[in-house]
Amino acid sequence: MDAELRNCALCSALLTSEIRMQAAAHSLISDALGQRFAEAKHVLVLTGAGVSAESGVPTFRGGGNTTVWKGMPLEIVSSAGMLERDLPVVWEWFNYRRHLLTALKPNPAHEAIAGWQERFPELTLVTQNIDGLHQAAGSRRVIEMHGNIWRARCFDCGARHETRELRFDQGIPSCFDCGGHLRPDVVLFGEMLPAGTFESAAAAAQNCDLCFVVGTSAVVYPAASIPEIDRAAGAYVVEVNPERTPLSYLCDEVLTGKAGEILPLFGKS
């Protein structure tokens, strides 16, 4: 009898939670957006640092002249110039960052986006984040605008390797294929995006009918131009962010709040 009562209480709690989520979805998601979400065929999602921050990923950004690591600003230690001057320091910095990421998990926003793969005929995920949390949540087609902190790339032959497999010799890992020096496979300050990355994202943007811009300040170009391409192509553009951004005026709808609380509501309205 006690077990039955506990099961009834659990079912009641789950039902109450579901009812609350449906009520929240109805109050936040407009009828127009709910219908577009239900009927969308080609969806593009652009994510930024705000999504990762909800998993505890540090942004390493502060006001004024805030230094981020060993007295060096982010723009210096993560720059193409530092890569040329002191490769061991660059690796030390990225090893530190990976150590901070090791215990972090995808949050409900990552999981909701991954689940949308099964809902829409075509879903393109474009991310400015380098932490790999989208893939950890199960997202398969991910266009990484700025690379991935869990990969390394050879200066000489261009081969890519998982950083978890690397061994460091005097602070610099060697390529398994040719023995050359490796570098983090991320876009540093002063570098161009990987060839074809923006073009792939722009092509998807030109063909989508619904676009979500999630957790990004929309000020870093060229990634910030993706929603502009979406809008010009006739897509319905939705921003999800804790506060308004320079992109807000361009969007058809702005949903103010945390991505991990808002995105799971879709499909429940």
With beta carbons less than 8 A apart as the criterion, state whether 33 and 260 touch: no
CA dist 52 and 130 (Å) reads: 9
CA dist 173 and 159 (Å) reads: 13
**How far is C-alpha 103 from the chain's CA centre?**
17
With beta carbons less than 8 A apart as the criterion, state whether 99 and 92 touch: no
Catalytic residue among 42, 110, 134, 146: 146
CA dist 90 and 82 (Å) reads: 7
**How far is C-alpha 184 from the chain's CA centre?**
18
Other Cβ atoms within 10 Å of 182 Cβ, number: 24
With beta carbons less than 8 A apart as the criterion, state whether 141 and 42 touch: no
181 is known as an active-site residue: no
3-state helix, strand, coil in the chain (%, to 5): 40, 20, 40
CA dist 246 and 8 (Å) reads: 49
Catalytic residue numbers read 146
